């Protein structure tokens, strides 16, 4: 009997010293944050953030007594795209989305992550991106001054969507106005086309009115913005792609540094998981993006190897010009470009 009493007391003692009551939701310290972007709330990336990313982050933060209290401003309702990264730099807002092709003045070396026909797919591109940041100091420093990267995002492969009957190879787009940004603008100019750049909210009307005849983007945006209604053709490269638009999510550096160390650690510990998760989430939903265009009867054009080679040749010529231009400015473009090609072979299956 004494042994049973002693055993019961021992169990009670262990339970008493090891049990930590769960923190109640009302006891969590709220961290207010403001988030601005240029895309609709129903975009795939935003769905991932709210349904998958934030629940995981909040669960981990609750264990140390904190909770993020984020106010979202979607679709340019607070800042239009051209102003939102600057707003984060200046501390006017806490978090935003940076689309690399629109940020070449701020991060010129990062433009190579937007290059087409590099041989990588979406996941291997993420690995190349991280490796470049570690191996090329100038590359790694570009987004580190006023901001901290929370996670990255690689949408599905870019296509040429257009309204030019029969157009497939570079020569077919001579004189054609095409919306694009970054290195793709240089390629369109190189083949004799006319690059146009507009905010996403203007794309539908411009295509409908013929202000430009094509657009180079992944298929998610034609689906989200219903651009397939004012487009007729969608051109896919064979064995490669026109590139993957690199996207990163930025927090104001001073704001990040003001967070409790444990909160900072949770955010950084989830960097790779979030980057891979949101990228794969997007890939998993690609088939659904095609549905509207298929129902309308749009043409899905798959280039032959020979036709794809013509685009690859144009892309390589433009990339070499990019290297030469940055090298003249004293930017280590050659080292970054060569390293990217080498890493692509290393990481791509």
Cα 129 to Cα 347: distance, rounded to the nearest angstrom: 11
pLDDT digits (tens, 9 = 90+) for 61-90: 999 999 999 999 999 999 988 899 999 999
CA distances 153 to 23, 281, 321, Å, are 33, 10, 27
The domains spanning 27-107+123-154+245-284 and 158-243+288-347 adopt the same CATH topology: yes
pLDDT band at 199 (very low <50, low <70, confident <90, very high): confident
Q: What is the pLDDT of residues 25-63, one digit of tens each?
A: 668 999 999 999 988 898 888 999 999 999 999 999 999
Answer whether CATH 3.40.190.170 is correct for domain 27-107+123-154+245-284. yes
Dump pLDDT digits (tens) for 136-158: 999 999 988 899 999 999 999 99
Domain extents in the chain: 27-107+123-154+245-284, 158-243+288-347
Beta-strand pair 95-99/247-252: antiparallel
Tokens encoding 279: 């990228």
Rounded Cα gap, residues 62 and 56, in angstroms: 10
Average pLDDT over residues 22-27: 63
3-state SS assignment for residue 241: coil
> Is a pLDDT exceeding 90 seen at residue 318?
yes
Q: For residue 317, give the DSSP letter.
A: H
CATH topology of domain 158-243+288-347: D-Maltodextrin-Binding Protein; domain 2 (3.40.190)
> What local confidence, expressed as pLDDT, does residue 26 receive?
65
């Amino acid at each position: 009997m004494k042994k049973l009493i002693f055993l019961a007391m021992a169990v009670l003692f262990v339970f008493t010293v090891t049990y930590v009551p769960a923190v109640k939701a009302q006891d969590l310290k709220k961290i207010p944050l403001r988030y601005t972007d240029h895309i609709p709330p129903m975009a795939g990336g935003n769905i991932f953030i709210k349904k998958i990313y934030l629940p995981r982050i909040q669960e981990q933060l609750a264990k140390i007594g904190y909770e993020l209290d984020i106010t979202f401003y979607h679709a340019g309702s607070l800042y239009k795209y051209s102003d939102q990264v600057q707003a984060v730099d200046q501390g006017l807002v806490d978090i935003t989305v940076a689309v690399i092709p629109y940020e070449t003045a701020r991060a010129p070396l990062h433009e190579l992550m937007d290059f087409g026909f590099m041989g990588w797919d979406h996941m291997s591109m993420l690995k190349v991106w991280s490796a470049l940041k570690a191996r090329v100091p100038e590359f790694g420093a570009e987004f580190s001054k006023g901001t901290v990267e929370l996670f990255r995002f690689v949408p599905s492969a870019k296509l040429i969507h257009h309204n030019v009957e029969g157009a497939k190879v570079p020569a077919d787009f001579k004189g054609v106005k095409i919306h694009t940004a970054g290195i793709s603008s240089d390629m369109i100019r190189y083949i004799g086309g006319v690059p146009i750049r507009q905010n996403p909210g203007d794309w539908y009307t411009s295509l409908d009115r013929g202000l430009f005849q094509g657009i180079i983007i992944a298929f998610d945006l034609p689906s989200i913005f219903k651009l397939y209604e004012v487009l007729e053709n969608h051109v896919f490269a064979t064995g490669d792609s026109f590139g993957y638009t690199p996207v990163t999510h930025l927090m104001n550096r001073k704001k990040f540094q003001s967070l409790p160390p444990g909160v900072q650690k949770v955010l950084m510990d989830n960097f790779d998981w979030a980057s891979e998760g949101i990228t794969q989430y997007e890939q998993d939903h690609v088939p659904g993006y095609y549905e509207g265009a298929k129902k309308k009867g749009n043409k899905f054009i798959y280039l032959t190897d020979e036709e794809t080679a013509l685009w690859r040749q144009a892309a390589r010529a433009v990339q070499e010009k990019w290297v030469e231009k940055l090298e003249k400015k004293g930017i280590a473009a050659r080292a970054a470009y060569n390293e990217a090609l080498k890493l692509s072979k290393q990481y791509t299956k």
